[in-house]
Amino acid sequence: MSSTLRHRRGPLPANPEHDTSGPISQSTRRAAARTATDLSPFSLLSHPLLRRLNVEAPGTYHHSLTVAILAEAAAESIGANLLLARIGAYFHDIGKLRRPEYFAENKGPHGSRRADLPLAESIRIITAHVKDGCEIARRADLPRPLLEIIEQHHGTALLELFYERKKRPGNDRLLAEQDFRYPGPRPRTREAAVVLLADTVEAASRTLSEPSAPRLRALVRRLLRKRQLDGQLAESHLTPSQLTNAQNAMARALIALFHDRATDPGTKTRPGTGNTAPAAATQPEDP
Ligand SMILES: [Fe+2]
Ligand SMILES: [Fe+2]
């Protein structure tokens, strides 16, 4: 995986409709209203791509619905386009339709298909779901704002668990840190940023063994800070106070999602998802 390849693929050109850095003009308001109108047909879970996701990648489907709840709450707390954030979350992982069995949330009792693959091949398959998602979105004529969220939903984040595995004997020590990162680009809108953050939070929350409210709050705080320090929010127009608002809103929504489980210490299963929580809290490599 070379940097040449990453650059050749290139990001989508910037969309002026999503420039939230300056004062809100009449044309921006009109564009936002138009975006909201144009997006409404995609807000239904009966969209063919989402139906496919439900059948062919059920773990990814449930993950996406939860990400949508978190992203919508965060978007609302910062005055961003919450419909765009919610629908963007529905579609963010449609690239996993190409190889659903290689992703942890869809693995059956025998584990993930990529378990025996060389490290570099695993990374290639995982990171490819972003590019695959963009291709699927283009073919399905999804609106450009959704395409941008799909493209930016991992930014240039590091595949941390794989990076750790690099240190094990037998793995390719010649791989550089850059080879363990998603190709980007980083989120360029607040809506894409909240989807990236919600995606990270949802995936990590699945691994929390005792999801009490303080632990969930701490998890959200830690992950958002980590993404910020890694530079993933640098182009998103999120201000520090908006990040705090998004953090609080996301934590509240996550605690509500875990309500049943948090009040019933006997169960380790997330309500509505069927996902069983392992003993330790870790950051999954492919949220
Ligand atoms: Fe993803
Ligand atoms: Fe995801």
Chain centroid, CA 124 distance in Å: 18
Residue 223 lies in a domain: yes
Structure tokens at 194: 């909240």
3-state secondary structure of 1: coil
DSSP string for residues in 207-275: T-SS--HHHHHHHHHHHHHHHHHTTTTTTS---HHHHHHHHHHHHHHHHHHTHHHHH-TT--B-TTT-P
Contacts of 50 (CB under 8 A, 6+ apart): 61, 90, 91
- Taking the CA of 67 as reference, the closest ligand is 2
Residue 61 lies in a domain: yes
CA of 92 to the centre of ligand 1 (A): 6
Q: Between the CA of residue 238 and those of 46, 74, 77, 142, 197, what are the distances in Å?
A: 32, 11, 12, 25, 12
Question: Does pLDDT of 276 surpass 50?
Answer: no
Residue 276 lies in a domain: no
- Tally the residues of the chain: 287
Q: What is the pLDDT of residue 173?
A: 66
CATH number at residue 212: 1.10.3210
The mean pLDDT of 218-228, rounded to a whole number, is 98
Phi-psi region of 211 (alpha: psi -120 to 50; beta: other; left: phi over 0): beta
CA of 183 to the centre of ligand 2 (A): 15
Give the total number of structural domains in the chain. Answer: 1
Residue 76 lies in a domain: yes
Average pLDDT across the chain, whole number: 82
Residue 59 lies in a domain: yes
Measured in degrees and rounded to the nearest 5, phi and psi for residue 108 equal -90, -165
Which strand (E) or helix (H) includes residue 152? helix 144-152
- Taking the CA of 200 as reference, the closest ligand is 2
Q: What is the pLDDT of residues 91-140, one digit of tens each?
A: 999 999 999 999 999 986 555 666 678 888 999 999 999 999 999 999 99
Q: What is the pLDDT of residue 116?
A: 72
- Taking the CA of 204 as reference, the closest ligand is 2
**100: containing domain:** 38-263
Q: What is the pLDDT of residue 32?
A: 52
Q: Determine what percent of the chain is predicted with pLDDT higher than 70.
A: 72
DSSP classification of residue 43: S
Q: What is the pLDDT of residue 56?
A: 97
Q: Name residue, tokens 């942890």.
A: 104
pTM of the model: 0.80
Residue 284 lies in a domain: no
- 248: nearest Cα among 269, 221, 275, 222: 221
Q: How many whole angstroms separate alpha carbon 234 and alpha carbon 162?
A: 24
Confidence of residue 172 (pLDDT cuts 50, 70, 90): low
- Taking the CA of 199 as reference, the closest ligand is 2
Residue 259 lies in a domain: yes
